Amino acid sequence: MLHKTIKLISRLGFLTVLLSPLTAISMPDLPIIAITSIKAPINQNYGGRRVNAKEANFQTMLETQMTQVGRFTIIERNRVDEILAEQGLNNEFGDSATASGQFNVAGVDYLVYGAITKLGQREQALSTGSFKSASLITEFSVDIKVVDASSGEVRKAKSVEVQSKTASGMSTGSFGSIKGNGDPLADIQRIAAKKVAALIATSIFPIEVVKGGSTVYLNYGSAILDKGDIVDAFRPGEELIDETTGINLGSEEEFVGKLEIYEVNDKFSKAKLISGMNPSKGSLIRIIKKATESTKSTGQNSEKRGRKI
């Protein structure tokens, strides 16, 4: 009987050893983020007219994108309101209640505040003889602040701007065609939500090369990156410190190469070299151009064909 008991205890101990690592993997210590209500001051008066920026829709998209990143625990929206109410805070960060040094939101690591500051459309047109073409460009901007919930310190503050061609048409003689997006605002909000998620995520967990070679593997997937995105790879150098204030000014960067994302999965992406050298494991990545965006310049350069003048 004693022999059987020892054998059973031994088996239980072996199972504990096997299960412990699995428990650690399934319960990662992820930063906890609360996304507060996105505001839209432009709804009141923008360019002399009222608009509807559908801020609740954008907030839902941002919550979805942040969840898909997989590197954070996102607090449910109704719970965010409860937490802020319990702490006596509101969504106007920086008021007298939060400026007294008593800013401390229990159970949350970071608070995200946002305001939609631009929503509009402009037309690009070209006409020569009987040929005419026009494009409708939708523009959208949102100001984002990421705040340390324990101290009230603003960790990140940036304006994210997006513009995309949402309709186009052409005519020549008696022939014409028009095509456009069914809901251009929703489409551009989705692009913006992805950019904001990238801003927040990469400020804490940078985009890195996890495997170098002719195919370069990156540590983010479809929640941040898209097929056709152009990125730069670089190696950080010596940190620069302002001796007067002690502020870290960042570090010098050594450019390695320019890459194009050609395959995107849920958890990782693949890129190929465009110019420069293939980056090695640990190189950092910065997004230069999103494939889903139009270029800001109205005189976009295109590849010349034929003999140069």
111 plus 38 within the same structural domain: yes
Pairing of strands 269-276, 73-74: unpaired
Report the pLDDT value the prediction gives residue 19, as an integer from 0 to 100: 42
299 inside domain: no
Going from the C-alpha of 104 to that of each of 73, 75, 91, 112, the distances in angstroms are 18, 16, 14, 14
193 plus 114 within the same structural domain: yes
d(CA 208, CA 202): 10
Mean pLDDT by 10 residues, the chain (309 residues): 46 43 52 90 72 90 91 85 66 42 69 91 81 86 89 87 83 72 85 91 90 94 93 85 76 88 94 94 92 57 54
242 inside domain: yes
Report the pLDDT value the prediction gives residue 229, as an integer from 0 to 100: 95
Report the pLDDT value the prediction gives residue 124, as an integer from 0 to 100: 82
| CATH number of domain containing 59 | 3.40.50.10070
Report the pLDDT value the prediction gives residue 99, as an integer from 0 to 100: 39
95 plus 215 within the same structural domain: no
78 inside domain: yes
| CATH number of domain containing 277 | 2.40.10.410
Cβ atoms of 133 and 169 closer than 8 Å: yes
Going from the C-alpha of 83 to that of each of 150, 152, 161, 273, the distances in angstroms are 13, 15, 30, 47
Report the pLDDT value the prediction gives residue 302, as an integer from 0 to 100: 47
* Secondary structure of residue 98 in the 3-state scheme: coil
88 inside domain: yes
Residues spanned by the domain of 109: 31-120+144-161+182-205
20 inside domain: no
User: For helices 184-204 and 55-69, what crossing angle results, to 10°?
Assistant: 40
pTM beyond cutoff 0.85? no
237 plus 155 within the same structural domain: no
